[in-house]
Amino acid sequence: MQFNYTMKVICFIVLSVFLAQSGLLAQTKNTNAPLNQWLGEQSTAYDPWDLGAQFRVRMEHKENFATPGRGTVDFQGRGGNSDNTYFLFREKFHAGYKMDWLTVYGEARDSRTASDERKPHPETDPLDLHQGYLLLGNAKEFPLTLKVGRQELSYGDERLIGAFDWSNIGRVFDAAKLRYDNSDFWIDAFVSRVVLTNPDEFNEANDYDFFSGIYASSRTIVPKNEVQTYFLARNVSPDSPTAIGAGLPAFMTGASARDIYTLGLRVKSLPGEFGSWDYDAELAGQLGDFKSGTGQRLDHEAFAAHVAGGYTWTNAFGKPRTGLEYNYASGDSDSTDGKHGTFDNLLPTNHKFYGNMDFVSWQNIHNVRVTGSLKPLKNLTLTADYHAFWLANTSDSFYQASGAPRSTGGYGIKANAGSYVGSEVDLIATYNVCKAANVQAGYGHFFVGDYVKNSLSPTSGATDADWVYLQMTLNF
């Protein structure tokens, strides 16, 4: 079995190099659709079609991460084996056909792992439907369109709503989305159900978890800025955790009961409008109610904030950029007062924001980030990030990137522990072989802080964590 997967990786690399050298990938105008351009050059009969595929393979090595099935927890110092080296394979194939007022689109996805010590494998999902929808309307002739079916939802920079493409499976919704779009602004109104992963059967939407909202964006209301505002509602009934069955692993389990309403504002500078400077900020507040672990409905009041700025030396070698960022999300100050103050991170792509090692979510956290990037070669980008983390409130939990609280192996509510969780260093190199193929390598190290040490010292003790990965992506 291991030999077969090794051969797959070798064949993937050989195919990528061959196609890059042959020019099939290098001559495309559309990064994600080289096949479409090639077909269009053969005959105009292919113009209505959108055909393509993506192949991605990633090797990851993790040390001192929680490994489901082994009973280990993050940063565990003694006992158990928390090292894991594995391969992730993902293939996507899509076909779309566009008529004047109707577009039909379908995308299949196959996700598999090899040598993964996590049991069950949270990133394995054999051939399934990733997207399948109808798009009604023609935005060039009329500003109103309707998109119905299984689809990705992605808004803002994905801090609250994202497709989570880093995952070997990703996130999709069964949704209906109405969009009005003109030269001054666009506005979406949608209602959806998040799709749960079921490796043994066809993936189904959670009938007990409705996610809906209104999201608007304009680049003209405030000069030189993109301004976005949104109202989001997540209404989850008590049957959600067992939507596709009882006793299933966490990645197949629906969210707990809640009715949470989020109102937010996001501002981002438009490229080049402030010279070499850039910035963005987001503020979100929440009201509603949340079901506690004991079944009690708690009044929910929470908020979160993000602010970042950066400077790019456009005339210097490699166009270096440096930036500073701060992220905050409220925690719960008292688990016995009938109120719930932990910000709900909703359905985000957290991998991009709070450390690439995916230990942290936008919940009960202070996060300071220093970032830098450099392009020493035209096709090579180097990035370096430093993160520091503190709990916003030690009367609340330390939350995982998935949004679940850490509660085993010594973790839990540690009101008397130090609030400093630790710091993380991430180094990433991305090389674009051509417009449709790239290779990326990364390394991360997490230095544990007082909170982790205080939590784990009575049981296993605490230690730092390491992570290395190599990823190759090919788009047809």
User: According to the model, what pLDDT value does residue 14 have?
Assistant: 47
| Longest CA–CA separation in the chain, Å | 70
What pLDDT, in 10s, does the model give residues 240-290? 999 999 988 888 999 999 999 999 999 999 999 999 999 999 999 999 999
What pLDDT, in 10s, does the model give residues 14-67? 455 444 444 444 443 343 467 787 777 787 877 889 999 999 999 999 999 999
Residues 96 and 50: beta-carbon distance below 8 Å: yes
What pLDDT, in 10s, does the model give residues 74-123? 999 998 888 999 999 999 999 999 999 999 999 999 999 999 999 989 99
What pLDDT, in 10s, does the model give residues 180-223? 999 999 999 999 999 999 999 999 999 999 999 999 999 999 99
User: According to the model, what pLDDT value does residue 36 have?
Assistant: 81
Mean pLDDT of the chain: 92
Please give, one letter per residue, the 3-state secondary structure of the chain: CHHHHHHHHHHHHHHHHHHHHHCCCCCCCCCCCHHHHHHHHHCHHHCCEEEEEEEEEEEEEEECCCCCCCCCCCCECCCCCCCEEEEEEEEEEEEEEECCCEEEEEEEEEEEEECCCCCCCCCCEEEEEEEEEEEECCCCCCCEEEEEEEECCCCCCCCCECCCCCCCCCCCEEEEEEEEECCCEEEEEEEEEEEECCCCCCCEEEEEEEEEEEEEEECCCCCCEEEEEEEEEEEECCCHHHCCCCCCCHHHCCCCCEEEEEEEEEEEECCCCCCCEEEEEEEEEEEEEEECCCCCEEEEEEEEEEEEEEEECCCCCCCCEEEEEEEEECCCCCCCCCEECCCCCCECCHHHCCCCCCCCCCCCEEEEEEEEEEEEECCEEEEEEEEEEEECCCCCCCECCCCCECCCCCCCCCCCCCCEEEEEEEEEEEEEEECCEEEEEEEEEEEECHHHHHHHCCCCCECCEEEEEEEEEEEC
CA 285 to the chain's CA centroid:
21
User: According to the model, what pLDDT value does residue 291 have?
Assistant: 87
**Rounded distance, CA 123 to CA 117, Å?**
12
What's the first-to-final CA gap in the chain, in angstroms?
28
User: According to the model, what pLDDT value does residue 46 have?
Assistant: 78
User: According to the model, what pLDDT value does residue 33 have?
Assistant: 64
